[in-house]
Amino acid sequence: MSLLQMSCAGAVMILAVIVIRALAINLLPKKTFLAFWGIAVMRLLLPFSIPSAFSVYSLIGDHIPTTVPAKIPQAIEMLPVETNGQMFTMPSGISNMASPIRVTVLNPLLIKQSGGGSIRKVKTDKADAMKIAKYALDNWVDLREYPPMGAIREQLKLYSRQYDLYMKNAVALQNNLISLTDKTFPGVNELFSSPERADGSQKWIDFVITFWHCECIRLVGETAFIERYRKWCKRKGYHFSPQKAASLYIDSLGLIATLPKSSSTKLLINTAAKELAFVKAALAVLRAEMARLAQQLPEYETVRAMYGVGKTTAVQLMAEIGDVRRFPRRSSIVSSAGIDPAADDSGKHISKSNPTTKRGSPHLRKTLYQIVYTYLRKAPSDEPVYQFLDKKRPEGKPYFVYMTAAQNKFLRIYYARVKECVNATDNQEIAKL
């Protein structure tokens, strides 16, 4: 018998003595009531009881349901992960719906602005982990679970980021090669108008590897150079034109090189040209794989059909935006790109012209700028994005203001079209089931 049951038993005995005394106070001797009170006191003092089948409490206990222990809520396991650009990768095994661990992704800017509970400037792995954990605990209610991304979309985003990184290297290497060739063969990059091949090779880069100095052309004579140029075109798979060969020879006669024709200069030019050719080839491979992955997504054809969106920009848009269903409204996708105007109101001060927040993806903003620049250059009068852009220019808006407004407009149209396409695809899949 528990302590609570013993206390209840003593209280029942006291009530019983009081009732008997009130009913038989004149029928029983005084010593009997003293004995009853002694039994009640002993019931309260003794910490045990003798079990009996004839106990009243045994009869009552058969009809009293056992108290059901309250269910203790199970602790929620949550893993806060900080986004950190190229290095950010969701841990394997917990990024799927079957995992019992909740994953929430935190913006490092929010963690930095929170202060981490200290004004000291400490940069260690332990301190960073404590800041992330403290921010997650302080904002537990407001944290949202990270929606798992499909394998194709995750790979596509990773390829897109790598493509941007390789493209930056390619631009730097190309500027470096142009700077070097201006000292040995000035203007050689402007002598050819052939577009870049599917494998990433360019005619002027291959030409520089072989004819790295202007004296490589003019010292051999026109006839010898034309024959050598013909063999080079056949070996590289380029179209040969005698008129082009003669033009190259004539152009080389009036050039002045600042670096001598030597083995060290040749090594310098060839190394820079081969490095650029290698990066260009890597970019071509990445583009092909990105296109293959993007074609497996349902919205690919819808995005490609939009004006100003090319093969590469379509893939980059889809990679950076991801699944549009994760955005509850159009303003959410605009905010994720960082092209929404910032708020600047305080008291009676209400600012009407504010810069963009730029708190979103810089890769997405770059892609949007390239698309809107196509609108500006082609000027399609029947496109709503260009009509909106052309409406802002006569109002005297600065260049970046109406360009950003056009990006905002394009992104809202993208959200509506792609969401309709994805929902239609889901409905078709449900109908098949």
Q: What is the pLDDT of residues 279-312, one digit of tens each?
A: 999 999 999 999 999 999 999 999 999 999 999 9
For residue 118, report the phi and psi dihedrals to the nearest 5 degrees. Answer: -150, 145
Does residue 98 register a pLDDT over 60? no
pLDDT at residue 175 in the model: 97
Quick one: average pLDDT of 267-286? 96
Does residue 181 register a pLDDT over 60? yes
pLDDT at residue 67 in the model: 47
Task: Name the residue with higher pLDDT: 21 or 237.
Answer: 237
Question: Is there a contact between 293 and 299 (Cβ–Cβ < 8 Å)?
Answer: no
Q: How confident is the model at residue 75 (pLDDT cuts 50, 70, 90)?
A: very low
pLDDT at residue 3 in the model: 63
Task: Name the residue with higher pLDDT: 220 or 144.
Answer: 220
Structure tokens at 310: 């090319």
pLDDT at residue 279 in the model: 97
Give tens-digit pLDDT for 195-206: 999 999 999 999
**Alpha carbon distances (Å) from 262 to 195, 265, 269, 275, 290:** 31, 5, 11, 20, 42
pLDDT at residue 151 in the model: 83
- Counting residues of the chain whose pLDDT is more than 90, the rounded percentage is 52
Quick one: average pLDDT of 93-109? 66
Domain ranges of the chain: 3-63, 78-148, 153-287, 300-432
Q: How confident is the model at residue 71 (pLDDT cuts 50, 70, 90)?
A: very low
Quick one: average pLDDT of 404-426? 94
pLDDT at residue 78 in the model: 65
pLDDT at residue 359 in the model: 83
pLDDT at residue 288 in the model: 95
pLDDT at residue 160 in the model: 94
Q: How confident is the model at residue 110 (pLDDT cuts 50, 70, 90)?
A: confident
Quick one: average pLDDT of 15-25? 76
Does residue 336 register a pLDDT over 80? yes
Q: How confident is the model at residue 73 (pLDDT cuts 50, 70, 90)?
A: very low
Give tens-digit pLDDT for 85-94: 554 555 555 5
pLDDT at residue 140 in the model: 79
Range from 19-23, 169-173, 204-208 carrying the lowest mean pLDDT: 19-23
pLDDT at residue 100 in the model: 65
Q: Mean pLDDT of all residues in the chain?
A: 84
Q: How confident is the model at residue 106 (pLDDT cuts 50, 70, 90)?
A: confident
Quick one: average pLDDT of 394-413? 92
Q: How far, in Å, CA of 105 to CA of 103, rounded?
A: 7
Does residue 55 register a pLDDT over 60? no
Q: Which own/partner pairs from 254-261 qualify as long-range (CB within 8 Å, at least 24 positions apart)?
A: 255/185, 255/186, 255/187, 255/214, 256/186, 257/183, 257/184, 257/185, 257/186, 257/213, 257/214, 257/215, 258/183, 258/184, 259/183, 259/184, 259/213, 261/184, 261/213, 261/215, 261/216
- Which distant-in-sequence residues (6+ apart) come within 8 Å of 319 by Cβ? 153, 156, 157, 159, 160, 161, 290, 294
